[in-house]
């Protein structure tokens, strides 16, 4: 669903408390699914009724539907109304405290190739993303006890979006398309500076994060979101210019709070 801009946030080994603390469960396919398969989710918003606590389970939420009406996660109406919006039978699943199991995922392993390509946002003739960094067995391990795609932190720089905009100036290269946890103003005027941080550690304020891999993009970056229109040209540009990658995945190795304006230092 739609995200929030935070002036400050706790960064933990589990990411930002409350981030992806709830998920939609597809009752037909028996697994957690998301806006990649159900793009109408991005027209919804959600807010916690109490502040999430580090290491704890997810508190209840209020979901605001596209028509402006609200429904509580605790209400039986939540599953029914979301199901009507999404056109399939769904339920809501909360993330439990640290150490608890998370609901299983819907995966693409048994999907037809053409469906996988559609979820990847690809046209005929475009190559699939290089997923050697994330083979199925590694993804299964990374997804234990959480609802993340892969790792708990995603970072992208203004420079990357500015560089991509030069190749497709008719598109709106807004960070909301990319849903980063950390949006960074880098010193470099052009290029993709964060890709040079892979394999290194970053100090963000007083926090230290380990940059693990580039982030392969999919159809999500093309979807409408708030005032941003649907735009397949975004994916065309990323496939052509960066071989699907925009931004980086990271994990926290020294916890603490970060604030807007904190400096970021590349550690050797």
**One domain, residues 76 and 198:** no
**One domain, residues 8 and 50:** no
pLDDT greater than 90 at residue 55: yes
pLDDT at residue 155 in the model: 98
pTM: 0.93
pLDDT at residue 2 in the model: 87
pLDDT at residue 188 in the model: 95
Q: Rounded to the nearest 10 degrees, how much is the dihedral formed by the CA atoms of 33, 161, 129, 141?
A: -50
pLDDT at residue 222 in the model: 97
Average pLDDT over residues 3-18: 94
CA 2 to chain centre: 11
pLDDT at residue 34 in the model: 94
pLDDT at residue 118 in the model: 95
pLDDT band at 254 (very low <50, low <70, confident <90, very high): very high
**One domain, residues 62 and 12:** no
pLDDT, averaged across the chain: 95
Q: To the nearest whole percent, how much of the chain has pLDDT over 70?
A: 100
**One domain, residues 92 and 225:** no
pLDDT at residue 110 in the model: 82
Final residue in a domain of this structure, among 50, 80, 105: 105
pLDDT greater than 80 at residue 268: no
**One domain, residues 51 and 136:** no
**One domain, residues 81 and 173:** no
pLDDT at residue 107 in the model: 87
Average pLDDT over residues 221-233: 95
pLDDT greater than 90 at residue 144: yes
What region, left, alpha or beta, does residue 29 occupy, with left being phi > 0 and alpha being psi -120 to 50 degrees?
alpha
Q: To the nearest whole percent, how much of the chain has pLDDT over 90?
A: 95
Average pLDDT over residues 67-75: 96
Q: Total structural domains in the chain?
A: 2
Sign (positive/negative) of CA torsion 11, 12, 17, 19? positive
Residues 6+ apart with CB under 8 A from 218: 36, 119, 120, 121, 129, 235
User: Which tokens belong to 24?
Assistant: 């939609």
**One domain, residues 242 and 193:** yes
Higher pLDDT pick, 6 / 108: 6
pLDDT at residue 103 in the model: 94
Q: What is the CATH number of the domain that holds 240?
A: 2.40.33.20
Tokens 């028996």 appear where?
30
Question: C-alpha angle with apex 260: 174 to 264, nearest 5 degrees?
Answer: 95
pLDDT at residue 170 in the model: 97
How far apart, in whole angstroms, are the C-alpha atoms of residue 236 and residue 5? 27
pLDDT at residue 109 in the model: 82
pLDDT at residue 205 in the model: 86
**One domain, residues 120 and 100:** no
**One domain, residues 166 and 235:** yes
**One domain, residues 263 and 206:** yes
pLDDT band at 265 (very low <50, low <70, confident <90, very high): very high
- Residue-by-residue DSSP string for 68-112: S-EEETTSHHHHHHHHHHHTS-EEEEE--STTPPPPPBP-STTS-
pLDDT at residue 108 in the model: 86
pLDDT tens digits along 173-194 = 999 999 999 999 999 999 999 9
**One domain, residues 132 and 101:** no
- Residue-by-residue DSSP string for the chain: ------SEEEEBTTBSTTTT-EEEEETTTTEEE-TTT-GGGGG-EEEESS---TTSPPPPEEEEPTTS-EEETTSHHHHHHHHHHHTS-EEEEE--STTPPPPPBP-STTS-HHHHHHHTTPPTTPPPP--TTS-HHHHHHHTTTS--SSSSEEEEEHHHHHHHHHH-TTS---GGGT--SEEE--S-SSS-GGGGGTTSEEEETTEEEEEEEEEE--GGGGS-BTTBPP-THHHHHHHHHHTTEEEEEEEEEE-EEEETT--EEEE-
Distances (CA, A) of 13 to 146, 201, 206: 11, 14, 14
* Residues of the domain holding 99: 21-105
pLDDT greater than 80 at residue 39: yes
**One domain, residues 84 and 28:** yes
pLDDT greater than 80 at residue 261: yes
């Amino acid at each position: 669903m739609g995200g929030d801009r935070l002036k400050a946030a706790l960064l933990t080994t589990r990411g930002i408390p409350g981030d992806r603390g709830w998920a939609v469960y597809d009752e037909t396919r028996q697994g957690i699914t998301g806006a990649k398969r159900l793009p109408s989710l991005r027209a919804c918003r959600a807010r916690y009724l109490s502040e999430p606590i580090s290491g704890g389970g997810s508190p209840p939420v209020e979901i605001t539907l596209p028509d402006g009406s609200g429904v509580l996660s605790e209400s039986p109406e939540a599953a029914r109304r979301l199901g009507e919006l999404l056109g399939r039978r769904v339920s809501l699943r909360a993330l439990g405290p640290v150490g608890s199991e998370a609901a299983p995922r819907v995966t693409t392993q048994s999907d037809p190739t053409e469906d996988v390509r559609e979820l990847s946002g690809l046209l005929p003739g475009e190559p699939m993303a290089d997923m050697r960094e994330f083979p199925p067995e590694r993804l299964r391990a990374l997804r234990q006890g959480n609802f993340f795609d892969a790792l708990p932190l995603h970072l992208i720089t203004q420079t990357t979006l500015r560089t991509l905009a030069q190749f497709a100036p008719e598109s709106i290269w807004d960070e909301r398309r990319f849903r980063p946890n950390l949006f960074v103003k880098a010193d470099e005027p052009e290029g993709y500076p964060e890709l040079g941080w892979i394999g290194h550690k970053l100090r963000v304020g007083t926090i230290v994060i380990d940059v693990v891999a580039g982030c392969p993009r999919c159809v999500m970056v093309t979807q409408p979101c708030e005032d941003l229109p649907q735009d397949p040209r975004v994916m065309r540009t990323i496939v052509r210019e960066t071989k699907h990658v925009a931004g980086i995945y990271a994990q926290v190795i020294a916890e603490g709070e970060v604030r807007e304006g904190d400096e970021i230092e590349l550690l050797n």
